[in-house]
Amino acid sequence: MIKRLLVVFSIMIIASMLLTACGGAAASKEIKIAILAPLSGAVPTFGVSTRDGALLAIDEWNAKGGVLGMKIVPVVADSQCAADPAVNAANKVIDQDEVGYIIGEVCSSASIPISEIVNQKMVVQISPTSTNLNVTINADGSVKPYTFRACFIDPFQGTVGAKFALSDLKAKTAFVLYDQGNDYVRGLAEAFEEAFTAGGGEIVGKETYTGQDTDFSAILAKVAEAKPDLIYLPDYYNIVNLVAAQAKEKGIVAPFMGGDGWDSADLDRVAAEGGYFTNHYSEQDTRPIVQSWLGTYGAKYKDADGKAIVPDALATLAYDATNLMIAAIEKAGVDDPTKVKDAMAALQWEGVSGTITYDANHNPIKSAVILQVKDGNITYVTSVAP
């Protein structure tokens, strides 16, 4: 009898050891998520913020046990806000790292070519911040099944800017400066022009430049001559810094207005003083979810003097996009991009930057904020709901 009990007992011990071993193996299974961001190139603050926001979301999920019992492993690649490096980075993370999920890119001109690849290779992509219409839809207007974004789109952003210029700034005339070779800049310039004209404003001039230009004196001479009430410059901060500084030197006093591309710790606030821009989020938003996000981010990321870093829109949207991706994996219940994309399309997620639910084109409907560069600070002006 005792012998029998001993046998049963040892079988139980062995069984439980085996179970633990299997359990251990299951818990150590990993799921990779790639973060494609411009860590080098023309706009590195975009990349650093995006990476840091995304990594924070992954850390939080891992601290709670990961997703579906798997540890989430980030794979970070530098896609430089440009088509070729973005394509190389996407192919590398998919083919070599065997990633099934991509957060990125920031810039529309990089997210669009990545979207072509992921929809061929059946990998889920969510861009935190790419606002151009063509990121999520094909030329024929059909939706790209594997591509999503966490931000509003430029037809909305351009309209918000135009309406604010007309009704709040009382601008009657505007001059538009834009980089024709940049999908985001061109698309936003077009959206602004359309809405500004529809609202009764007049576009008194329109000039293009390229992303490589550094001397804007010829086009600024035309701006000076046209004397517009407002100059619309929907480019990234690196170009805004150059153009706004050169406009100041020329004695141009009309305010500049732009879009989310102005959002950078490296925006030249002296040159851009008095300017306005549309954006996704303001840290001056009093909603509790925003205030607790500031605390979490600031506790993890400090500047060289040990001061808490205030997350910008890029960090915030990367955090939201990453949470959304992982929540979709959890909802799908399986590490399978074909299932996760369907779960994502049906998801409702309460993010720091607002609630995200997808329309048929994988665009969330979200509010914009208007910010002003005032006395060297970025000041919240108002929010505009769609």
Q: Applying CB under 6 A, which residues contact ligand PHE?
A: 46, 106-108, 129-132, 184, 260-261, 263, 313-314
Contact status, residue 105 vs residue 36, Cβ threshold 8 Å: yes
Written as six digits, the tokens of 214 are 């550094």
Nearest-approach distance from CB 238 to ligand PHE, in angstroms: 11
Task: For residue 281, give the 3-state DSSP assignment.
Answer: coil
Nearest-approach distance from CB 334 to ligand PHE, in angstroms: 31
Nearest-approach distance from CB 57 to ligand PHE, in angstroms: 17
Q: Which is nearer to ligand PHE, 186 or 341 (CB)?
A: 186
Nearest-approach distance from CB 310 to ligand PHE, in angstroms: 15
Contact status, residue 192 vs residue 232, Cβ threshold 8 Å: yes
Q: Which is nearer to ligand PHE, 264 or 323 (CB)?
A: 264
Q: How many CB atoms lie within 10 A of CB 296?
A: 15
Distance, in Å, from the CA atom of 176 to the CA atom of 161, rounded to the nearest integer, reads: 13
Q: Which is nearer to ligand PHE, 119 or 279 (CB)?
A: 279
Nearest-approach distance from CB 131 to ligand PHE, in angstroms: 4
151-186 burial, b at 16+ Cβ within 10 Å, e below that, comes to bbbbbbbbbbbbbbbbeeeebebbbbbbbeebbbbb
Q: Which is nearer to ligand PHE, 136 or 323 (CB)?
A: 136
| Residue type (1 letter), 116 | E
Contact status, residue 308 vs residue 289, Cβ threshold 8 Å: no
Vertex 325 angle, CA 44 and 36, to 5°: 25
Nearest-approach distance from CB 312 to ligand PHE, in angstroms: 7
Nearest-approach distance from CB 63 to ligand PHE, in angstroms: 27
Q: Which is nearer to ligand PHE, 203 or 314 (CB)?
A: 314
Q: Which is nearer to ligand PHE, 193 or 260 (CB)?
A: 260
Q: Which is nearer to ligand PHE, 72 or 137 (CB)?
A: 137
71-106 burial, b at 16+ Cβ within 10 Å, e below that, comes to bbebbbbbbbbbbebbbebbebbbeeeebbbbbbbb
Distance, in Å, from the CA atom of 189 to the CA atom of 173, rounded to the nearest integer, reads: 15
